[in-house]
């Protein structure tokens, strides 16, 4: 990585502001954290800073409070969980700037950790606001960005604050860039991309960017319908993106020209509607009934995708193979998650839903790497830079801009 990391600067006794991604899912009824994966992912940086004797000031957004205080979106519950995990007190501060935050910071001793209030209680957070940036920066001597999940956003706590403090990467951010960068720069071949999920339009830039690097692209999920239609198959009531038909055809042609194999499903599970009570059956893609829609890939597709993936040394997976939220449509996603989990290949998972599916099945720790960034990982794999990364100090030229 060409950016400085937290290991490259002296943090001992320093006040270190760490932007983390603690945007954890909460139970609607009880407000309890339903998945603490994002908290766990930030632990290496937090523990490193504690060990180095830094004064640790954590900051994150949580949910969408739209620039005002929302009692349901206070960081208290996150501070409690982090405190349990670290086995040390983590105080939740009732504000993220101003007198109360400043006083709490002034009282910090080496190795102490506090968590500031939800950054998005201020509308200025999403506006990359210079005054809000100054207020945040006032709290610290050094800024560490460990929030890969929001690195594609030019928000105040990600970009603005770096104008005032030496800014370096946290260990999670560094690892994300190393793992995702690794599959782009130096993948071990054969390299396959297994793609699914809802929409082709979300993924076109990424597919174009990885086209020159992969040996094979396997397409399932909702986006398979658009590719099937572009290959002159009838897809019944499946959601297709009309405006993406030409793009899909182009991508397939480009693939052929560059010697990249594109695999579409041989069979699919079709349903009369997308819910738990649906009637469904497996059909070959040549025989999708006009009154049904694709909800998952079928067993033959699982078999042919599996055979292809078994021969690969690097596998990148983005996008579930079906509507995995509904158990009757989750078989394809489940089967391929198991295959990847048992594979000797380097397996990298990107995409919010895909990571969630793999975690829900309990196989996340069997993968080489599961990215914590949905949108950020897509943008990075599309070959576009991330504002949150660009803003950090360069390794070769560490002069603050």
Candidates 149, 236, 298, 319: give the one binding ligand ADP (CB under 6 A): 319
Residue 222 interaction partner, one of ligand ADP, Mg ion, none, beta carbon < 5-8 Å per kind: ligand ADP
CA distances to 32, 91, 108, 368 from 374, rounded to whole Å, are 22, 29, 34, 17
- Told to check if 25 binds Mg ion by CB under 5 A, we report no
- Told to check if 65 binds ligand ADP by CB under 6 A, we report no
Binding pattern for the stretch 109-148 against ligand ADP, x by CB under 6 A and - elsewhere: ----------------------------------------
The set of residues, in sequence order, having a beta carbon less than 8 Å from that of 99 and lying 6+ positions away, is none
Burial zone of 257 (CB within 10 Å; 0-12 exposed, 13-18 middle, 19+ buried):
exposed
Whole-angstrom Cα Rg for the chain: 23
Residue 325 interaction partner, one of ligand ADP, Mg ion, none, beta carbon < 5-8 Å per kind: ligand ADP
Check if the beta carbon of residue 111 is closer than 8 Å to that of residue 53: yes
Q: Which residues are catalytic?
A: 38, 199, 352, 375
Question: Which residue stretch of 127-135, 206-214, 238-246, 347-355 sits at the interface with Mg ion (rule: CB under 5 A)?
Answer: 347-355
User: CA torsion, points 134, 137, 141, 146, in degrees to nearest 10?
Assistant: -150
Shortest distance (Å) from residue 331 CB to ligand ADP: 12
Helix (H) or strand (E) holding 192: strand 191-195
CB of 347 or CB of 354, closer to ligand ADP: 354
- Told to check if 389 binds ligand ADP by CB under 6 A, we report no
- Told to check if 325 binds ligand ADP by CB under 6 A, we report yes
Residue 248 interaction partner, one of Mg ion, ligand ADP, none, beta carbon < 5-8 Å per kind: none
- Told to check if 156 binds Mg ion by CB under 5 A, we report no
What spatial distance separates the first Cα and last Cα of the chain, rounded to whole Å? 19
The set of residues, in sequence order, having a beta carbon less than 8 Å from that of 311 and lying 6+ positions away, is 190
Check if the beta carbon of residue 197 is closer than 8 Å to that of residue 351: yes
Candidates 1, 43, 86, 198: give the one binding ligand ADP (CB under 6 A): 198
- Told to check if 352 binds ligand ADP by CB under 6 A, we report yes
Applying CB under 6 A, the residues found at the interface with ligand ADP are 196-198, 202, 221-222, 239, 294-295, 318-320, 322-325, 351-354, 374
């Amino acid at each position: 990585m060409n950016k400085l990391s937290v290991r490259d600067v002296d943090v001992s006794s320093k006040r270190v502001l760490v932007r983390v991604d603690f945007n954890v899912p909460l139970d609607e009824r009880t407000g309890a954290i339903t998945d603490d994966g994002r908290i766990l992912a930030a632990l290496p940086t937090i523990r490193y800073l504690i060990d180095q004797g830094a004064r640790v000031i954590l900051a994150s957004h949580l949910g969408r409070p739209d620039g005002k205080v929302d009692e349901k979106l206070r960081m208290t519950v996150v501070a409690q969980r982090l405190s349990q995990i670290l086995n040390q007190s983590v105080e939740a501060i009732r504000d993220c700037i101003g007198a109360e935050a400043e006083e709490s910071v002034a009282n910090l001793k080496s190795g102490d950790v506090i968590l500031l209030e939800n950054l998005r209680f201020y509308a200025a957070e999403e506006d990359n606001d210079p005054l809000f940036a100054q207020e945040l920066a006032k709290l610290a001597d050094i800024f560490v960005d460990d929030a890969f999940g929001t690195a594609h956003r030019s928000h105040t706590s990600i970009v603005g604050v770096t104008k005032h403090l030496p800014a370096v990467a946290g260990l999670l951010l560094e690892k994300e860039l190393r793992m995702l960068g690794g599959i782009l720069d130096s993948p071990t071949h054969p390299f396959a991309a297994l793609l699914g999920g809802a929409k082709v339009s979300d993924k076109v830039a990424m597919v174009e960017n990885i086209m020159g690097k992969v040996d094979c692209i396997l397409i399932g999920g909702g986006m398979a319908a658009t590719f099937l239609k572009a290959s002159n198959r009838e897809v019944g009531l499946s959601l297709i993106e009309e405006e993406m038909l030409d793009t899909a055809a182009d991508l397939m042609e480009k693939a052929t020209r560059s010697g990249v194999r594109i695999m579409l499903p041989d069979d699919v599970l079709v349903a009369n509607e997308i819910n738990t009570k649906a009637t469904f059956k497996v059909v070959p893609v040549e025989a999708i009934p006009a009154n049904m829609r694709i909800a998952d890939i079928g067993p033959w597709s699982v078999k042919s995708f599996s055979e292809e993936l078994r021969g690969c040394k690097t596998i990148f997976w983005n996008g579930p193979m079906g509507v995995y939220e509904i158990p009757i449509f989750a078989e394809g996603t489940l089967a391929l998650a198991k295959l990847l989990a048992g594979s000797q290949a380097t397996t990298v998972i990107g995409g919010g839903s895909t990571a969630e599916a793999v975690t829900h099945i309990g196989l996340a720790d069997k993968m080489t790497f599961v990215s914590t960034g949905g949108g950020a990982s897509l943008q990075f794999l599309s070959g576009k830079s991330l504002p949150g990364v660009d803003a950090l100090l360069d390794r070769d030229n560490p002069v603050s801009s």
